[in-house]
Amino acid sequence: MPKKILIVDSKEENLKELEAILSKEGYAVLTQTDPMTIRATIILSSPDLVIMGTDFENFDGLDLCERIKKDALVPSMPIIMESETRKEHIVARSFAIGAVDFITKPYQPEEIIARVATHLKLHDLNIQLEEKNKKLESTVEEQNKTITEMQMATIFSLAKLAQSRDDDTGKHLERVQKYCRSLAVELSKLPEYESIVTKDFIKNIVFASSLHDIGKVSIPDAILLKPGKLTEEEFEEMKKHTIYGAQTLEEVYEMFGSNEFIKMGIDIAKYHHERWDGKGYPEGLSGEEIPLSARIMAIADVYDALSSRRTYKAAFPHKKCVEIITEGRGTQFDPSMVDAFLKVQDEFALTSQLYSDIKPSLKFL
């Protein structure tokens, strides 16, 4: 298919002369004298190159070229400015606004043919380069996605390994991931959180939530696995799992830096036992001093503790869990988090059932 060239000029003799030169070379030539319809002509015909005059009656061809170059709806193509005389300030401005070349009368056919062929070839090469860059970006993005997924899987496996020391918690990590996602999605619908709880925030909290108790790897078995009630001294040591977890993740963050997932993991590990009223640990933060991710995690963690069976307690029914969390509104929990929880409580109940630690009996299968 021949390349299409649009010639725009106010003088018919210029159009005919240029058309004759280019048609002999096999180009499909379009001509136009009305500058007011150039934009529509370009959009509809998609020329491969435009030769545009600088002077129209009551209209500046350079202004027209500049508008076309800035118009996002107009396809990209090389524009050669054309004039009957060569004035240096006009030539300079032509290149400044994005024209690729400048020709003047009297037209030199061989020169015009060579210039047009060169710019068409350069334009084709640019298109090929852009396509290769897009493919490369897509490949790199896919590779980064694969690497990220592998990293997330590895980190989740390490978190599961840490959790396995206390085999009473079963699918705890899977459940809290779902709980955090439900809460975050609900919060993202609220005006006060829509700019904070973004898609990236939601993705990060889902993965980072699995790191909340990673510090328990540093708690002695005698305390972590103790079946009975902890002494005051033992409980003080147990509370340090928030510090140990944050310190471990801080070392990772220092190594890799600028990793929002790890940064959120630090906040969650350290502050998910803080309370809205300031009576939590390890730092006694209150209100919005507590990172948002940790306030979300606090609801998810407590709901799972209440709704799951432990060696020292039976699982509370969903209704009872909701009552307990509602009672903690404004004291233990951020009121906004509780309000969001109440809206998605059915999702919590479903997650608790789907990821239950209770294995069904074979006789019912």
- Report yes or no: 81 and 105 within 8 Å, Cβ to Cβ: no
> In the numeric block, which tokens belong to residue 79?
């524009």
DSSP 3-state of 344: coil
Q: How many CA atoms lie within 13 A of 106 on its CB side?
A: 1
Give the dihedral sign, CA 269/273/274/275. positive
**H-state helical runs in the chain:** 12-23, 38-45, 61-70, 88-96, 109-163, 172-187, 199-208, 221-224, 232-239, 241-256, 260-271, 292-307, 318-327, 335-343, 345-354
The whole-number pLDDT of residue 157 equals 60
| Residue 218 CA, distance from chain mean position | 35
Residues pairing with 333 in the sheet: 329
How many other C-beta atoms lie within 10 A of the C-beta of residue 104? Answer: 16
Residue with tokens 């047009």: 116
Q: Give the residue among 301, 335, 302, 341 at the shortest CA–CA distance from 185.
A: 341
The whole-number pLDDT of residue 280 equals 96
Q: Give the residue among 308, 300, 305, 307 at the shortest CA–CA distance from 337.
A: 300
The whole-number pLDDT of residue 224 equals 85
Q: How many residues does the chain have?
A: 365
The whole-number pLDDT of residue 150 equals 61
Task: Please measure the distance between the N-terminal and C-terminal CA atoms of the chain and give it in whole angstroms.
Answer: 66
- The rounded distance, in Å, linking the Cα atoms of 106 and 172 is 82
- Report yes or no: 172 and 308 within 8 Å, Cβ to Cβ: yes
Residues pairing with 213 in the sheet: none
Give the dihedral sign, CA 17/22/23/24. positive
* pTM for the full predicted model: 0.60
Task: For strands 101-104 and 59-60, give the pairing.
Answer: unpaired
The whole-number pLDDT of residue 262 equals 86
Give the dihedral sign, CA 69/74/76/78. negative
> In the numeric block, which tokens belong to residue 171?
């699918």
- The rounded distance, in Å, linking the Cα atoms of 296 and 178 is 12
Burial call 73-86: b when 16+ CB within 10 Å, e when fewer: ebeebbbbbbbeee
- Report yes or no: 350 and 316 within 8 Å, Cβ to Cβ: no
- Report yes or no: 321 and 307 within 8 Å, Cβ to Cβ: yes
Ordered per-residue pLDDT tens for the chain, 365 residues: 899 999 998 888 999 999 999 999 999 999 988 888 888 888 888 999 999 998 887 778 888 899 888 888 888 899 999 988 888 999 999 999 999 999 998 999 999 999 999 999 999 998 899 888 888 888 777 776 665 666 666 666 666 666 655 555 568 888 999 999 999 999 999 999 999 999 999 999 998 998 899 888 888 888 888 878 889 999 999 999 999 999 988 888 887 666 788 899 999 999 999 999 999 999 999 999 999 999 999 999 999 999 988 766 788 999 999 999 999 999 999 999 999 999 999 999 999 999 886 544 333 23
Q: Give the residue among 224, 245, 242, 241 at the shortest CA–CA distance from 311.
A: 224
- Report yes or no: 290 and 334 within 8 Å, Cβ to Cβ: yes
Could you give all domains of the chain from N- to C-terminal order, each with its CATH number? Answer: 4-133 (3.40.50.2300), 164-364 (1.10.3210.10)
Q: Give the residue among 284, 207, 212 at the shortest CA–CA distance from 242.
A: 212
How many other C-beta atoms lie within 10 A of the C-beta of residue 237? Answer: 16
Q: Give the residue among 76, 79, 85 at the shortest CA–CA distance from 63.
A: 79
Residue with tokens 């002077």: 55
